[in-house]
Structure 1
Amino acid sequence: MNIQWFPGHMAKTRRLLAENLKLVDIVIELLDARIPASSKNPEIDEIIKNKPRVVALNKSDLADGEISKEWSKWYSSQGYTNIFIDAVRGTGINELKSRLRTMMKDRREKDLQRGRIFRPIRTMVVGIPNVGKSSFINKIAGRASAATGDRPGVTRSKQWIRLNEEIELLDTPGILWPKFDDQQVALNLAFTGAIKDDILDTTEIAGKLMEQLSLTYPDSLKGRFKLESLEGKDGITLLEEAGRKRGCIISGGEIDYSRIASIVLDEFRAGKIGRITLERPPESLGKES
């Protein structure tokens, strides 16, 4: 299976980001805390360049807390301000606002010394589809100011949002990159819903997920689906066993693969299998080039 997905509006969004970067003081890069590396668009670094940035890792309530600590340490070692947030419950939002103010403190003091009229801090939020951008914006603004949805591709055009007297935020549509060189990255995005299920073989995706979880979170997987043993079993076999346990049977006693695949993916994405992070930070703590 080779996963590729690059809707036409993504190329337009990339141009939009580059054009509007000069309008903002700080970029908020929103990532998925379960897949910090895979949910990072490598083109963003080239577009943003040296613009001040906050890395906000959303859906932290679904991620493995211990591994999140590793990621926080790693991002700090790279020189990035980072914060783990939950855009649904609002965890970390006030701290994020405070960090934005701190990052802009020197510039604001210089403006005051020069007698310049105060203007709000201008920020831009960027992130791949379905990383929770709209929910994040609604929470940080304290009102339903951006269209939200549980499927990728809801936000289509840029919009300025006044958060308060101090901060303005420019929303942009989610952006993926044209080609996935690493298919594990593509799988991680498929697991978490960043790529639409309707263009994927969900049975194969769910099988791949179960196979991965059998190695990294075996107890959580066994407990959730009442599986007796994982040893030596591939993902499809595990999917079949889970299907029988959940009663996903069609006429003739065959497994309803589509149904059990949907259950597995939905329960993973909702955190019902457990708090899971699919990747760890690079071993090297040296500055990225």
Structure 2
Amino acid sequence: MSGSPIQWYPGHIARAERQLRDQIDRVDLVIEVRDARIPLATSHPRLGRWLQGRRHLLVLNRRDMVTMAARQAWDRWFRGQGLPPCWCDARAGGGVKALQQAAIDSGRALNERRSRRGMRPRPVRALTLGFPNVGKSALINRLVGQRVVASARRAGVTRSLRWVRLGQDLDLLDAPGVLPPRLDDQNAALSLAFCDDIGQASYDVEQVALAFLARLDRLQAAVAAPDPAALLEKRYGLPGPTAARERAEWLQRAADRHTSGDPARMAQRLLDDFRRLVLGPMALEWPPEPAAQREPEPGPPPDPEP
């Protein structure tokens, strides 16, 4: 954001990354969990160093929070990358059994090699990895069928590594959400903030809400998403802004109507409504177009005019 980039890297994440390096040699399979609303922004830039030839299973969680058109578009795109995704809704349990079977199938080759060497089969050791608050712990609880790890809809609940046994076929290592020390792409950082995938202390809520309004406009232009002005009017009784210079004014007018004139509270309400599906299912990212057709990604919005 203008003069105020999103910042993070709390100490427990640094400790978790050190612990992860100590455990990684025991892992056969990496189950990477991403947020279906922002699959690119939740792709970890350090994933390659943890994979190191291990099998990779991609999970797109919160499938209920995006439209079917977005799911189909992303499914085609990832399959074209040679990485067919598992679509899940960890909160309700949708897709979890298919994920469990995919993890077991991914580890089958491991035990076949062990058998050829005269060794007994053992459970597949899978690391669940991803950004904070993408639903890793909720997914493990669904796989196990009971609450074995802490889970909540906020970042930073899991703070240490823990192995969980899932029957005779699968051992899961639940790792805290691991953020890179910095994220140079501030548009990706904004996506994490929109979806509550980083702690709120990392950003200014009013600036993020203004950036969210800008993202709605870009989505409509790029993928024929619903008209944001109509969407916002239906929810808040005020037509949404139709130009960049009107966004801060709209936020203040909405605050005057709904939050006793407090724009910070109104900004939080707007973001919470998106996160709770009050504005409807919505993907904030769509598959990249071929480079020749892609327009440059605009930067974050300027600071509100006085």
TM-score (norm 2): 0.85
Q: Tell me which residue corresponds to 1:111.
A: 114
Contact 2:241–2:247, Cα closer than 8 Å, also in 1: no
1:29 and 1:107 map into 2 onto residues whose CA distance is 19
Q: Tell me which residue corresponds to 2:242.
A: 231
Cα drift, residue 181 of structure 1: 0.8
Q: Tell me which residue corresponds to 2:26.
A: 23
Q: Cα deviations across residues 139-171 of structure 1 (Å, max 9, x unaligned)?
A: 111110001122211111111101112111011
- The answer to whether 1:276 aligns with 2:288 is no
Q: 1:221 aligns with which of 232, 239, 246?
A: 232
1:49 and 1:117 map into 2 onto residues whose CA distance is 25
Cα drift, residue 284 of structure 1: 4.5
1:220 and 1:96 map into 2 onto residues whose CA distance is 34
Cα drift, residue 113 of structure 1: 4.6
> Given residue 230 of structure 1, which amino acid in structure 2 is its aligned partner?
P
Cα drift, residue 8 of structure 1: 2.2
Unaligned runs of 5+ in 1: 250-254
Cα drift, residue 55 of structure 1: 0.7
Matches within 5 A, 1:141-152: 141-152=144-155
Q: Cα deviations across residues 183-202 of structure 1 (Å, max 9, x unaligned)?
A: 11111111111222234221
Other structure's SS at 1:53 match: strand
Q: Cα deviations across residues 190-237 of structure 1 (Å, max 9, x unaligned)?
A: 111122223422112112112221342424334322333532254322
Q: 1:178 to 1:67 in 2, by over 3 A?
A: same
> Given residue 232 of structure 2, which amino acid in structure 1 is its aligned partner?
L
Q: Tell me which residue corresponds to 2:271.
A: 265
> Given residue 236 of structure 2, which amino acid in structure 1 is its aligned partner?
F
Contact 1:204–1:236, Cα closer than 8 Å, also in 2: no
1:162 and 1:90 map into 2 onto residues whose CA distance is 19
- The answer to whether 1:243 aligns with 2:246 is no
2:51 and 2:95 map into 1 onto residues whose CA distance is 24
Identity of aligned residues (%): 34
Of the structure 1 ranges 197-206 and 132-141, higher mean CA displacement relative to structure 2 is found in 197-206
> Given residue 16 of structure 1, which amino acid in structure 2 is its aligned partner?
Q
Matches within 5 A, 1:59-98: 59-98=62-101
Q: Tell me which residue corresponds to 1:252.
A: none
Of the structure 1 ranges 149-158 and 225-234, higher mean CA displacement relative to structure 2 is found in 225-234
Q: 1:284 to 1:123 in 2, by over 3 A?
A: farther
Q: Cα deviations across residues 72-95 of structure 1 (Å, max 9, x unaligned)?
A: 222222222411110000111000
Aligned length: 279
Other structure's SS at 1:135 match: helix
Other structure's SS at 2:85 match: strand
Cα drift, residue 53 of structure 1: 0.8
Of the structure 1 ranges 212-221 and 92-101, higher mean CA displacement relative to structure 2 is found in 212-221
Contact 2:13–2:159, Cα closer than 8 Å, also in 1: no
TM-score (norm 1): 0.89
1:212 and 1:81 map into 2 onto residues whose CA distance is 27
Cα drift, residue 28 of structure 1: 0.3
Q: Cα deviations across residues 82-122 of structure 1 (Å, max 9, x unaligned)?
A: 11110000111000111112222333334345443221111
Contact 1:214–1:230, Cα closer than 8 Å, also in 2: no
1:7 and 1:198 map into 2 onto residues whose CA distance is 10
- The answer to whether 1:200 aligns with 2:203 is yes
2:290 and 2:121 map into 1 onto residues whose CA distance is 42
Q: Cα deviations across residues 4-32 of structure 1 (Å, max 9, x unaligned)?
A: 11112322322322332221211100111
Q: Tell me which residue corresponds to 1:8.
A: 11
Q: Tell me which residue corresponds to 2:129.
A: 126
Q: Cα deviations across residues 239-260 of structure 1 (Å, max 9, x unaligned)?
A: 2233344x322xxxxx211221
Cα drift, residue 264 of structure 1: 0.6
Other structure's SS at 1:42 match: coil
2:76 and 2:233 map into 1 onto residues whose CA distance is 31
Structure 1 runs of 4+ with >6 Å offset: none
Q: Tell me which residue corresponds to 2:304.
A: none
1:45 and 1:225 map into 2 onto residues whose CA distance is 44
1:213 and 1:221 map into 2 onto residues whose CA distance is 10
